[in-house]
Chain A
Amino acid sequence: MIRTLISATFFCAASMTQADTLKLAVTTSFENSGLADVLLPEIEADLGIDLQLLVVGTGQALRLGEAGDVDAILVHSRVSEEVFVADGFGTHRREIMYNDFVLIGPKSDKAQIGATSGAAESLQRIADAQATYVSRGDDSGTHKAELKVWQIAEREPATFGSWYNAVGAGMGTALNTASALNAYILSDRASWLNFKNKGDLALLFSGDPVLFNQYAYLAVNPAKHPTVQYEMAMQLEEWFLSDKSAASINNYQINGETLFVFNGQK
């Protein structure tokens, strides 16, 4: 009996050992967009590596990189990324592509945010109407982008009343909350298009350059963490900047809409 249990344990253990792999922390918006499902097989075929994605918020991705628990990160929050490199956790920052954020809200659009001159004005109208609003509130790249627009709109989220709901969750969970509350929310376009529980929500505002969302790739500095797979991470960076990657990124569409624009420079 005991012998069977022990051999069963070892059997379980033996089948779970794995080869050398590259761990890449990416943001939820990148994964939810579906682009990862397109790029991952291409990368694995071209480079012959086992690429493992850790889907987390930008804040957590940066922490994972700082701790050396991943080999590289793909995130979208420029200021935090520059701090990451300045502190020596990354060797350099390489821009890959961008997409954009959009404002989502109830179809009735009671705060009238659809017809404004800019994203800041749209948010001002939401604040003035005290319309129910859902914020990521999780220190992610999307959350930081939202805070930047509030700053331009000269409104301070800390002073907002109960209409402002900081859910402290990923994009999908936040969208689910917004759908349930029939609330306004800032989302990246890709997550919104792939989201399947839209309910009564619709895309109300987009196109302001302030809403552009730059993704960058940062390899973790091997001087800080000798265990990271720096060489492999560099191969991946080269692949991301290749013409093939550019074509795959630019050609990726959902419902006929282009989501990402490649702007990497070698």
Chain B
Amino acid sequence: MNDISHGLFAALRLIVTFDAELWEISLRSLQVSLTAVIIASAVAMPFGAFLAVQRFKYRRLVISIMNALMGLPPVVVGLIFYILLSRSGPFGVFGLLFTPWAMIIVQIVIITPIIASISHQAMRELWAEYHDLLISLNTSKWRRIKTLIWDGRRNLLTAGLAGFGRAIGEVGAIMIVGGNIEHATRVLTTAIALETGKGDFALALGLGFVLIGLALFVNILIHWLSRTEREGRW
């Protein structure tokens, strides 16, 4: 129990003193995870809507696979991408291993199924409501997808935030492809793993509280910016 209060104290001290290293790794955490969320959302949200609107032969199979991929073990994703991005691997020429880009790529792979799955769920319900209207207006497929995405944007926000939550707290994959290099690829989660290894539980916990605070801050900020959960709005 004592360790937890020490952790809270360490977190407070780091924040109050504007610790330079804390700022650096927190910003990098945000940079990596937000970039991953933006790219993954750009792919996953239209895909989720497409799955709701379009009927095709293997649709159920695709949905099942997508749902199953939500449980991708990050360590395995990390290891596979380590082998792919390694200098001796097929994509070695790009020199991406141990850079923030490698971390973004593995996070995209981990969170795309989650965002796509939640998006699909939301879009399906909306589609049931809009189906007759959009069919009777004789809209194109692309028009229908765009309409669903726009009118379901609040639900899609939830999908994006779920992806962000998974990305910012992830450690197994980015540890392998990022390498936890100081001033290059160290982020909050890998720093926590490092400090735990050194037995400095107070500092590790302190960083952990900063991470939780950061995730909370981003969620509140986005809700505030998009004006959800306010009176008179849905």
A54 within 8 A of B: yes
Give B79 Cβ to nearest chain A Cβ, in Å. Answer: 12
Name the B residues within 8 Å of A54 (CB-CB).
Answer: 98, 179-181
Complex Cα distance, B221 from A234, in Å, reads: 49
Name the A residues within 8 Å of B197 (CB-CB).
Answer: 28, 32, 170-173, 176
A195 within 8 A of B: yes
The number of A-B residue pairs with CB atoms under 8 Å apart is 83
Give B61 Cβ to nearest chain A Cβ, in Å. Answer: 31
Name the A residues within 8 Å of B101 (CB-CB).
Answer: 13, 16
Q: Mark B59-87, 1 if CB is under 8 A from A, else 0.
A: 00000000000000000000000000011
Give A176 Cβ to nearest chain B Cβ, in Å. Answer: 6
Q: A13-B35, A172-B196 are in contact. Are A67 and B87 (CB under 8 A)?
A: yes
Interface of chain A, main secondary structure: mixed
B24-40, CB < 8 A from A: 31, 34-35, 38-39
Give B3 Cβ to nearest chain A Cβ, in Å. Answer: 9
Complex Cα distance, B49 from A212, in Å, reads: 63
Q: A52-B181, A55-B180, A227-B87 are in contact. Are A69 and B200 (CB under 8 A)?
A: no
Cβ–Cβ contact A227 & B95, under 8 A: yes
Cβ–Cβ contact A176 & B199, under 8 A: yes
Name the B residues within 8 Å of A52 (CB-CB).
Answer: 98, 179, 181-184
Cβ–Cβ contact A172 & B88, under 8 A: no
Name the B residues within 8 Å of A92 (CB-CB).
Answer: none
Name the B residues within 8 Å of A225 (CB-CB).
Answer: 87-88
B99 within 8 A of A: yes
Cβ–Cβ contact B86 & A67, under 8 A: yes
A242 within 8 A of B: no
B161-186, CB < 8 A from A: 179-184
Q: Mark A173-209, 1 if CB is under 8 A from B, else 0.
A: 1011001000000000000001111100000000000
Give B156 Cβ to nearest chain A Cβ, in Å. Answer: 12
Interface centre among B42, B87, B196, B201 (most CB of A within 10 A): B87
A15 within 8 A of B: yes
Name the B residues within 8 Å of A66 (CB-CB).
Answer: 88
Name the B residues within 8 Å of A197 (CB-CB).
Answer: 199-201
Complex Cα distance, B37 from A12, in Å, reads: 12
Residues of B in contact (CB 8 Å), total 30
Complex Cα distance, B180 from A54, in Å, reads: 7
CB nearest neighbor in B for A16: B100
Complex Cα distance, B28 from A18, in Å, reads: 14
Q: Mark A41-79, 1 if CB is under 8 A from B, else 0.
A: 000000000001111100000000011110000000000
Cβ–Cβ contact A12 & B87, under 8 A: no
Q: A16-B31, A54-B181 are in contact. Are A172 and B199 (CB under 8 A)?
A: yes
Cβ–Cβ contact B196 & A176, under 8 A: yes
A23 within 8 A of B: yes
Name the B residues within 8 Å of A16 (CB-CB).
Answer: 31, 99-101
B103-131, CB < 8 A from A: none
A129 within 8 A of B: no
Complex Cα distance, B97 from A23, in Å, reads: 11
B198 within 8 A of A: yes
Name the B residues within 8 Å of A32 (CB-CB).
Answer: 197-198
Instruction: Please list 21 pairs of residues, one from A and one from B, whose beta carbons are closer than 8 Å in the complex, sorted by A's number.
Output: A16-B101, A18-B184, A23-B98, A23-B181, A52-B98, A52-B182, A52-B183, A53-B182, A54-B98, A54-B179, A55-B180, A56-B179, A68-B92, A69-B87, A170-B197, A172-B199, A173-B197, A175-B199, A196-B200, A198-B199, A227-B87
Contacts A12-B31, A16-B99, A196-B201 supplied; 8 other A-B pairs, CB < 8 Å:
A52-B182, A54-B181, A68-B88, A179-B199, A196-B198, A197-B200, A225-B87, A227-B87
Q: B residues engaging A (CB < 8 A)?
A: 31, 34-35, 38-39, 42, 86-89, 92, 95, 97-101, 179-184, 194, 196-201
Pick the 7 closest A-B CB pairs, nearest first.
Answer: A172-B197, A197-B199, A68-B87, A196-B199, A12-B35, A67-B88, A52-B181
